Structure 1
Amino acid sequence: MAYSESDTRANLIDPKLEKSQWKSSNIVREYYFTDGRKLIGGKRGNRYFVDYLLVYKNTNLAIIEAKAQNKDPLDGLQQVINYAQKLKIDFVYSTNGTKIYEHSLISGKGDFIEDYPTPDELFYRKFGKLKEQEEKVITQSFYFEGNKKPRFYQQIAVQKAVETIANDKDRVLLTLATGTGKTYIAFQIVYRLFQSKWNKDKTNRRPKILILADRNVLKSQAMNEFNPMEKDLVDINGKDIKRRGGKVPTNGNVFFAIYQSIAENKNRNIESCEDENEDDVIAYYKQYPSNFFDLIIIDECHRGSSNDDSSWRDILNHFSSATHLGLTATPKRDDNGDTYKYFGEPVYEYSLKDGINDGFLTPYKVKRIQTNIDEYHFNPDDIITGELDKNIVTLQEFEKSVVIPKRTRLLAKTILENINPFDKTIIFCVNQKHAMDMKISIDRYKTIKDSNYCVRVTSDEGELGREFLEKFQNNDLDIPTILTSSKMLTTGVDAKNVRNVVLTAPIASMTEFKQIIGRGTRTYEGKDFFTIIDFVGATNLFYDKAWDDDPLSVDIKTTKIEDIEDDELNEENKIDEEKKEQNKKENSFNDDEFEAKTKEEKAKKEQVIIDIKGKKLKVINIETRYVGVDGKPLRSSEYLELLIGVLGRFYNDEQTLRDIWSNPKNRKELLEKLKDMNIDESQLEDLKDIFEAKNSDIYDVLAHLSFNCDIKTRDERAIAALNSKFIEKYQNEKAKDFIEFILEKYRKYGFKELEENKLSTLIEQSGFDRRELMTSFGDFKIRDEYFELQKEIYR
C-alpha cells in the first residue's frame, strides 16, 4: 500500500533529508509566505505556502514540493518553480519520496537525482567561495522582536541589498510599493551590516551610516523604526548644530538628516525648513570628511538624488566613496532625473499589484465621476474678474488659470455623498488656494459640526498642519476626518486607515499618481478596500504602459445629486502671499510643492474667476470600470463579457442557476467561489445599476445576464409567492402570518434575509412565541418550510 502525502513526508522525505545532513533547525515545514488577498467581509483569498523550505546560514536555499508516494513526482514541478521565482530561491525539488527531481533556476535545467545535496554543497552552488567578511555579512541573522519578523519580500529585499553591498557595489536600488515597509527594510539592512561589522575599508569596526530624507516627518518615522539601535543613533539638525557652535556631531554610527538641514543653500526659498531661521544655510555636510560614511541610504530617492543639479547630488558627490542605497516606490526616468542612470537597475522590486494580491496591501475601488462642468464654454456674462484668452476651458486649467467656485462646491457636496461620514479621506487639490476653497466648501455641506472635521494641510499651515496630520494618522481619533492638500501629502504619510483618496487635480506624472494611490494602500483591521474618487480622469493612467497594478474593481453607480442652489456664500478666502514666518514653518515643504507654490503665486495675478449664470451644475454620471486579467480597468461591456465567462463555470442553464440560488447553502457556496475569483457581493449588487434593477434580486440580474431572462423585482417575487398555493396549505393563520413576515423582509432587504442561519433571528424578530409558531405549522417542519419558501420565491 502506497504512503499518503503526510506519510511520504515522514517516512521517505524526512529520512533522506536527514541523510544529507539537513537538521530540523534547517527545515521549515509548510512555510506560508503570503497572507491571501483581502476580500470583502474581512475574509482572505488563498495563502501561498511551500511544503519544505530549506534554510542554511540564515539563507533560504531551496524548496521542496511533496507528493504522495503513488503520485508522479513531477506533478508539482511547475507550481514549485513559480513559488521559487516569487521567493527568489535558486533550487527546487519535486518528489514523491521515492524519486527526486531537482531544478536549478540559475541554469533553467533539471534532472532526477538520488540524494539531496548537503547544506554546504547547496550554499557553495549559490554563492561560490566567499571571503570571510563577505560571508559574515551575507549570513548575518535578521533582527527579531516578539512576533514581528520580516515578511518574505522584506527578507528578499534585505538579502539582495546586503549581498550587493557585500560584493562591493557602490550603487544599490530597492523599489517597493508604498506601504510595504521600506523603512523597516532599511533598519534590517543597517542592523545586519552593523552586527557583521561591514565597512568600506574592511577593518574591524562598525560602519558609519547616514540616512537622508527630505522631510522631518519621514526622518522621525525612520528614527522610530530604528529604536532597537537607539544608543547608536544621531539626529543631525540645524538647531542642535548651532547650539554646538556650528560643529556637526560625529560620535555615533547611524546618522539621520533631512538634506535641507545640511545642504548648501543654492536657493533658500526652495529648501527652507524649520531647522533654519536665517536666509543663509552653511553646507554642514562639508564638515564631515568625504570618507566619513560607509553607507548612505536615500529615502524617496526619486525625488532629488537622481537629479544632476540638486542639493541631494551635492551631498552624495561629497561622500562619493560611500555606498549609496536608494529606496523608492516610484523610480523615475525623465529629463529632470534618472533614478536608474544613477543607481542602476533595482536589485529587487515589489509592486503594488504584488502587495495587493499577496494580502499585504489593501485593494481599491474606483469611482469616475463626471459633471456637466468638466468643460467650460465662454460666456461674457459669467466672468467676475480677469479675461479669458480662449472660448473653451478644460479640466487641466481649472483652479490654475480659471476658478469656478460653484464647481468646487459641487465637488465638495458630491464627495460627502460618496463617503461615510467618518471615513478618513484625503482630497488632492490643484494648489494651496484650491485646497482652502475645498475645505470651505466641505464645511458648507458637512453634517458633522466639529470645525476641524475637514482641515487643510499644506506647507502654509506649518506646525498647526503637522498637528492636524498627526491627529489624522491617529486611528483612535475621528477628527480630523478629511484633509485637503496639494503636493504635500503625496509621500510620507503613514495613515493606515485612509478609506478614500479623492482626485480633484489632473495628474500628468505616473510617479506622482502611484505615490497618491499609495496613500490608501496600507492595511488596517476592518478595511477591506479603499476608494479612489476621480473627478478629473486621472485614473486614465491605469491604461498607461508604465502602470502594472490592478484595482480591486470600480464601483457601478449612476447617480445624480440635487442641483446646486443659486444662493452662494460670499466667503473671501484671503491668503497672505508674503508670509513673514515662511522659512520657519516649512519642514514638510519639498521641491515639488515649492514648484507648485511658485506657479500658484504667479497664477493668482492672472486667474479668471467665473460665476456661471443660468446653468445648474450637477453630477451626470459615475462611470463603470472593473479590472481585467491584465490588471487594467474594464468598461462595463468588457466586464460583463468577462463575468459571463466566469459564471459559465458554475451553471449551464437557468434551472441550474435557480436550483443553486433557491437553496441558501448552495447560494452561499456560489458567492464564496465568486469571491475567491475577486468577484465580491458588492460588485454583484452594483450590477443592478447597470440594468436599472435596483429593486431586484441578484438572481434576476444573473439570469438576465446569462440567459436574457426578464428581470423581476423583489416586490413581484414576494407577491407571487404570497398568492401561490404554497401558503394555502397552512391551516393556521399564525403560520401564514409568519410566511408573510419573511416575504416582507425579503421584499425590503433582499436575499440576505433568507440565509441558512437566519431562521432563528426571523422568529425572534417576528414577535411570535417559538413553540406556538412551530405548532402552527402542523405536520410541516418550520425549517423545511423556510427552505421550500425560497424555492417558491425563485420559481
Structure 2
Amino acid sequence: MFNKKLLSERDICTKYISPAIEKAGWNKHIHYLEEVNITAGKILVKGSLTTRAKNKRADYILYYKDNPVAIIEAKDNNHAMGAGMQQGLEYARMLDIPCIFSSNGDGFIFHDKTAQDENIEVEIGLDEFPSPEAIWLKYKTFKGLDTPITEKVALQKYYSDGSGRKPRYYQQIAINRTVQAIAKGNNRILLIMATGTGKTYTAFQIAYILWKASVKKRILFLADRTALIDQTRKGDFKHFKDKMTVVEHRQVDKSYEIYLALYQGLSGNEDDKNIYKQFSPEFFDLIIVDECHRGSAKDDSAWREILAYFSNATQIGLTATPKETKETSNIEYFKDPVYTYSLKQGIDDGFLAPYKVLKMQFGMNSGAEQWRPEKDKLDKQGNLIEDRVYNLKDFDRNLVIEERTRKVAKRISDFLKATNRFDKTIIFCEDIEHAERMRSEIVNQNPDLCRANDKYVVRITGDNDEGKRELDNFINPEETYPVIATTSELMTTGVDAQTCKLIVLDANIGSMTKFKQIIGRGTRINEEFGKRFFTIMDFRSATELFADKNFDGEPIRIKEINEETDFEEIVAEENDLEAPISSEYDAEETVALENAVNETKETYKTKDFFSATPNKRTKVFVNGVEVTLLVEREMYFDNDGKPITKSLKDYTKDIIQARYNSLDEFLNKWNATDRKDAIIAELEEQGIFIEHLKEAVNKDFDLFDLICHIAFEQPPLSRKDRVESVKKRNYFTKYGEQARKILETLLEKYGEEGIENLENIDILKVQPLSQFGSAYEIITTFGGKSKYLQAIKELENEIYKTA
C-alpha cells in the first residue's frame, strides 16, 4: 500500500492540495500562485559584506482578481493537519487576508476571520474546499464591501505594462485600503510609507484604479518640488500618456484628465497669479498631495488654500514623515492613516537598506564639543570674540572654527579612502555657506581626484544653478560624477539617490521630520550597483533621535511641544530658500518665504535667531583652534531598531540565554545541527553581531567559543588550541593516507578561517585543498558525497570534543 508519509512537502502540494483547490474552481493560471515570496529577506551586514536572511514565503496565495483573499500553508504528512496554521496566520496578518488554510494532504484546517459563531477554525475534507465565489463573499464581509461601487473598485485590476512588475505586498494593502476607503465615501486619506518604498508607484496604481473604474475622472497630483514632478511625469505616471499634462503656464488647458502641478505654479500673492482659480472648485475629483508633511500641512499656509479651494475633491496625503506638532497636524486634516509601512518594516522585509552609524566627537579647549575663547581672543576680522562657551548648536551657525571643518572633511575622506572613494556621498551642512566651505575642504583633502575631475565634489544648494544642474547626474547610478554632494536643505527630501552609500550629518537637526527625511536618502537598494546598505557618519549627535520612541512608531497628534524645538522646526520649514522650483516662480516663492520668516520673527520676538536679513546670520570666523577627534564609535541597534545602550557582550549574553536556557541545551543544538552556519544565521537574525564580537573578544575564537564564553562563562579555547588537541588524539589513523592528508589540511584550514568554511564544499576548489585533485576526486576518495560529509561531521565532533 502506498505510504503518504514518505512524500515531501512539495509532493503533498502537487498530489493533494493543488488538485483539491482546482476541483473547487481555482484556476492555476488565474486564481492562485505557489511558493510566493512575500518579503525579500532582511539584509544582514557583516563588516563590508552582506547576506540576506531567509525571506517569508507562502506555499499558496489565492486571488480574486488582484485581491489576495486566502493563504494555504502546507506540511508533509508526518505533521498534523494544522501544523502550518501559525505561519499562515502570520502571513495573513501581513497580507490583510481573512481566510487561512493549513494542510498535510489529508484535509484542511480552515481559519475564518469572518466567522460569527464560535467555530473560527474547522476541519474540512479535500473535496470540501470553498469556491472562489465563496471566499470572495467572505473577503467582502471582511473588508466591508457592501455596495456595488465598493465591489466595482475592489475588482478593478492593477495596471500592468507587461514587464511583470506587480505591487509588493505592502503596496497592495496600501492601494486596496485606499481605493476601498474612497469607494466607501471617505474624502480625506492619509497614507504613510517610508522613503524608498514606492509611494509614487502606489499613488499611480490608486489613481489608475479609480480613474479606470470611472470613480474619479479628473485627478491632480500636487508636489512642491520640480524634481518630484519630473520624476512622477517620467516615471510611474507616464502610463497615463496623452491623458496627462503638467501645469506650466499661466493659461491652463482643461481638456486633460490627469494634471501634475507644483504648488508654486498654481499660487501667488495676487489673485491674478492664482492659476488654480482658473479651474472651478468642482473640477477635480481627486487630489494626491505628495510629501504632505511640508507646506500644505499648516492650516494658515498659502498652499493649504489650494486644498481648501478644491475641498469637494477627495484628497490623499502621501508622506514618509507625517508632521504632528502644536502648530501642524497631518492627522487633523487627513484623519488617521489608512495604512502605515515604516522604515523598520521595510528594513526587516529586505526592501530597504539597513544602516551602520559612526558617531564622532571632537575635543577642544573646553572639553568635548565645546570651545571657549581665551582672554582677548580675536576673530579673523580682528574683532573681540564674546566670552562664553560655544557648543554644537553654535558651530557653523554662529561660530565657524575652520580647524573643525577641516577635521570633518579629513575624517570623511579617510573613511572613503578605506572603503571606496567613489561611493556616492551626501554631506548635510548647517547652511549654504557651510556647504561651500565643506566643499572646499573636501577638494583640499582629495587633490588627486579633484584634479582628474573637478566635479568629484559639488555643492548642490538652491542658490547655485551650477550645482542644481548636477543633481540629476548625482542621483543617476550610471553617472560617476559628482561623487560627493555638500548641501543644507535642498537634498533632504524628494531626491531618489539609489546608490548613496554614505550620509554625513554635520548639521544641527532638531526636527524628527527632517531627520527621517535625511535618513531616507540612503535607504534605497540597488543590487545592480552593489548598494545594499549605507553608513551614517554623525558629527552632531543627531542620531540620538534613533532612540526617540516616535522615530518609527505610529504617528499621534501632539498638542503640547517644547517651545524652542517647535520654533526651530518652524524656522527650518519656513526659512528654506532652497526649494528647486521653476525659475518662473523663484522670485515669487522667495518673497512668500521671506514674508513667512518675518511673520515667524514677529511671533517669537524674544528669540534672537535672526539678523535683519532673513536666512542670514552674523557669523564669527575663528582659526588657530586645536581640534582633536576624541571618540569614534559604531552604534548598534536591536531587532526593534533601537540603539543598544548596554555593552555588546551583555546584549549578546541576554539574547543567547533567551534562546538557550543552559549550556547543555546549546551543546545539544550545536552537535545536532549538520551545518553550523545555520546557527550563525539564526543568531544574526536575532541581532547578534558576530563579526564585531570576534573583534571585541578575540578574532582567534570561533562562534562556538564566543557563545560558550560570553553566555555561559566557559573558558574559551582558540582555534589553534583546538587544532593541536585533535592532532594529539591520533584521530586520523582510521583513514587511508590520502583521506588523512585531506582531513589534516581541512583541520589547518579551520584553524585559519573557522568552522563556517569547513562546511562549504567549495573549499575543496581552492589551495591547498585543490592540490589533491578536483572536488569530485576528493569526495570520491572518501567513497562518495555522503561519506565525505560524514567525515566532516566526525571532524567537527573531534574539534569540539573538549567541550
Tell me whether 512-521 or 36-45 shows the greater mean CA deviation: 36-45
- Does residue 378 (structure 1) correspond to residue 368 (structure 2)? The answer is no
The answer to whether the Cα contact below 8 Å between 1:426 and 1:500 also exists between their aligned partners in 2 is yes
Q: Which whole-Å CA distance do the structure 1 matches of 2:713 and 2:590 have between them?
A: 57
TM-score in terms of structure 2 length: 0.78
Q: Which whole-Å CA distance do the structure 2 matches of 1:699 and 1:329 have between them?
A: 42
- Does residue 138 (structure 1) correspond to residue 154 (structure 2)? The answer is yes
Measure how far apart 1:687 and its partner are.
2.9
Q: Which whole-Å CA distance do the structure 2 matches of 1:230 and 1:33 have between them?
A: 31
- Does residue 457 (structure 1) correspond to residue 460 (structure 2)? The answer is yes
Measure how far apart 1:389 and its partner are.
5.0
Q: Deviations over 1:624-645 (max 9, x none)?
A: 4322243311035266333464
- Does residue 762 (structure 1) correspond to residue 802 (structure 2)? The answer is no
Q: Which whole-Å CA distance do the structure 2 matches of 1:591 and 1:365 have between them?
A: 41
Q: Alpha carbon RMSD of aligned pairs, Å?
A: 4.7
Equivalent of residue 65 in structure 1, options 69, 73, 93: 73
Q: Deviations over 1:407-451 (max 9, x none)?
A: 111111111222331111111111111111111111121252332
Measure how far apart 1:500 and its partner are.
1.1
Q: 1:212–1:582: structure 2 CA closer, same or farther, 3 Å change rule? A: closer
Q: Deviations over 1:257-314 (max 9, x none)?
A: 1100111227xxxxxxxxxxxxx97111111111111111110011122211112211
Q: Deviations over 1:753-794 (max 9, x none)?
A: 9785446533499xx9989xx9xxxxxxx9999x98998999
Tell me whether 413-422 or 497-506 shows the greater mean CA deviation: 413-422
Q: 1:414–1:725: structure 2 CA closer, same or farther, 3 Å change rule? A: farther
Q: Deviations over 1:482-524 (max 9, x none)?
A: 1111111111111111111111112111111111111111011
In structure 2, the residue matched to 1:427 is 427
Q: How does 1:44-443 map to 2 (within 5 A)?
A: 44-68=52-76, 71-96=79-104, 97-104=106-113, 110-112=120-122, 114=124, 115=128, 116=130, 118-126=134-142, 130-145=146-161, 146-199=163-216, 207-224=217-234, 225-237=236-248, 241=249, 246-265=250-269, 282-373=273-364, 374-380=368-374, 382-384=377-379, 391-419=388-416, 420=419, 421-443=421-443
Q: Deviations over 1:449-468 (max 9, x none)?
A: 33221111110112x22322
Q: Which whole-Å CA distance do the structure 2 matches of 1:440 and 1:412 have between them?
A: 9
Q: Which whole-Å CA distance do the structure 1 matches of 2:60 and 2:430 have between them?
A: 52
Q: 1:253–1:741: structure 2 CA closer, same or farther, 3 Å change rule? A: same
The answer to whether the Cα contact below 8 Å between 1:383 and 1:608 also exists between their aligned partners in 2 is no
Q: Deviations over 1:42-74 (max 9, x none)?
A: 532222222332222432222233345564333
Q: 1:513–1:16: structure 2 CA closer, same or farther, 3 Å change rule? A: same
Alignment gaps of 5+ in structure 1: 200-206, 267-279, 551-576, 730-736, 775-781
Q: Report the count of equivalent residues.
A: 720
Q: How does 1:593-608 map to 2 (within 5 A)?
A: 605-608=617-620
The answer to whether the Cα contact below 8 Å between 2:656 and 2:711 also exists between their aligned partners in 1 is no
The answer to whether the Cα contact below 8 Å between 2:745 and 2:768 also exists between their aligned partners in 1 is no
Q: 1:390–1:630: structure 2 CA closer, same or farther, 3 Å change rule? A: farther
Q: Which whole-Å CA distance do the structure 1 matches of 2:316 and 2:618 have between them?
A: 44
The answer to whether the Cα contact below 8 Å between 1:488 and 1:593 also exists between their aligned partners in 2 is no
The answer to whether the Cα contact below 8 Å between 1:459 and 1:588 also exists between their aligned partners in 2 is no
Measure how far apart 1:331 and its partner are.
0.7
Q: Which whole-Å CA distance do the structure 2 matches of 1:64 and 1:9 have between them?
A: 10
Query: 1:222 is matched by which residue type in structure 2?
Result: T
Q: Which whole-Å CA distance do the structure 1 matches of 2:160 and 2:587 have between them?
A: 33
In structure 2, the residue matched to 1:630 is 640
Query: 1:496 is matched by which residue type in structure 2?
Result: Q
Q: Which whole-Å CA distance do the structure 1 matches of 2:758 and 2:440 have between them?
A: 45
The answer to whether the Cα contact below 8 Å between 2:369 and 2:392 also exists between their aligned partners in 1 is yes
SS of 1:512 mapped into structure 2: helix
Measure how far apart 1:333 and its partner are.
1.1
The answer to whether the Cα contact below 8 Å between 1:364 and 1:531 also exists between their aligned partners in 2 is yes
Measure how far apart 1:102 and its partner are.
2.6
Measure how far apart 1:324 and its partner are.
0.6
Q: Which whole-Å CA distance do the structure 2 matches of 1:676 and 1:62 have between them?
A: 28
The answer to whether the Cα contact below 8 Å between 1:74 and 1:94 also exists between their aligned partners in 2 is yes
Measure how far apart 1:671 and its partner are.
3.5
Measure how far apart 1:19 and its partner are.
5.5
Q: Which whole-Å CA distance do the structure 2 matches of 1:15 and 1:221 have between them?
A: 46
Query: 2:193 is matched by which residue type in structure 1?
Result: L
Query: 1:183 is matched by which residue type in structure 2?
Result: T
Q: Deviations over 1:514-546 (max 9, x none)?
A: 111111110111323111111111111111111
Query: 1:687 is matched by which residue type in structure 2?
Result: L
Tell me whether 702-711 or 131-140 shows the greater mean CA deviation: 702-711
Q: 1:792–1:180: structure 2 CA closer, same or farther, 3 Å change rule? A: closer
Measure how far apart 1:744 and its partner are.
11
Measure how far apart 1:255 and its partner are.
0.5
In structure 2, the residue matched to 1:272 is none
Tell me whether 163-172 or 14-23 shows the greater mean CA deviation: 14-23
The answer to whether the Cα contact below 8 Å between 1:102 and 1:113 also exists between their aligned partners in 2 is no
The answer to whether the Cα contact below 8 Å between 1:424 and 1:499 also exists between their aligned partners in 2 is yes
Q: 1:36–1:411: structure 2 CA closer, same or farther, 3 Å change rule? A: same
The answer to whether the Cα contact below 8 Å between 2:379 and 2:385 also exists between their aligned partners in 1 is no
Q: Which whole-Å CA distance do the structure 2 matches of 1:461 and 1:155 have between them?
A: 40
Q: 1:639–1:310: structure 2 CA closer, same or farther, 3 Å change rule? A: farther
Q: Deviations over 1:16-61 (max 9, x none)?
A: 5455444432222333211111234453222222233222243222
In structure 2, the residue matched to 1:646 is 656
In structure 2, the residue matched to 1:572 is none
Q: Which whole-Å CA distance do the structure 2 matches of 1:652 and 1:547 have between them?
A: 36
Q: 1:315–1:644: structure 2 CA closer, same or farther, 3 Å change rule? A: closer
Equivalent of residue 498 in structure 2, options 490, 496, 499: 496
Q: Deviations over 1:183-228 (max 9, x none)?
A: 11111111112221113xxxxxxx1111101011000111112112
Q: Which whole-Å CA distance do the structure 1 matches of 2:241 and 2:276 have between them?
A: 22
Tell me whether 650-659 or 598-607 shows the greater mean CA deviation: 650-659
Alignment gaps of 5+ in structure 2: 555-576, 599-608, 734-740, 778-787
SS of 2:282 mapped into structure 1: coil
Q: Percent identity?
A: 34
Q: Which whole-Å CA distance do the structure 2 matches of 1:133 and 1:187 have between them?
A: 20
Q: Which whole-Å CA distance do the structure 2 matches of 1:696 and 1:70 have between them?
A: 40
Q: 1:191–1:738: structure 2 CA closer, same or farther, 3 Å change rule? A: closer
In structure 1, the residue matched to 2:736 is none
Tell me whether 303-312 or 445-454 shows the greater mean CA deviation: 445-454
Equivalent of residue 482 in structure 1, options 481, 484, 505: 484
SS of 2:69 mapped into structure 1: strand
Measure how far apart 1:15 and its partner are.
5.3
Q: Which whole-Å CA distance do the structure 2 matches of 1:461 and 1:547 have between them?
A: 32
Equivalent of residue 472 in structure 1, options 467, 471, 474: 474
SS of 1:483 mapped into structure 2: strand
In structure 2, the residue matched to 1:30 is 35
The answer to whether the Cα contact below 8 Å between 1:215 and 1:589 also exists between their aligned partners in 2 is no
The answer to whether the Cα contact below 8 Å between 1:387 and 1:608 also exists between their aligned partners in 2 is no
Q: 1:152–1:719: structure 2 CA closer, same or farther, 3 Å change rule? A: closer
In structure 2, the residue matched to 1:522 is 524
Q: Which whole-Å CA distance do the structure 2 matches of 1:648 and 1:21 have between them?
A: 47
In structure 2, the residue matched to 1:571 is none
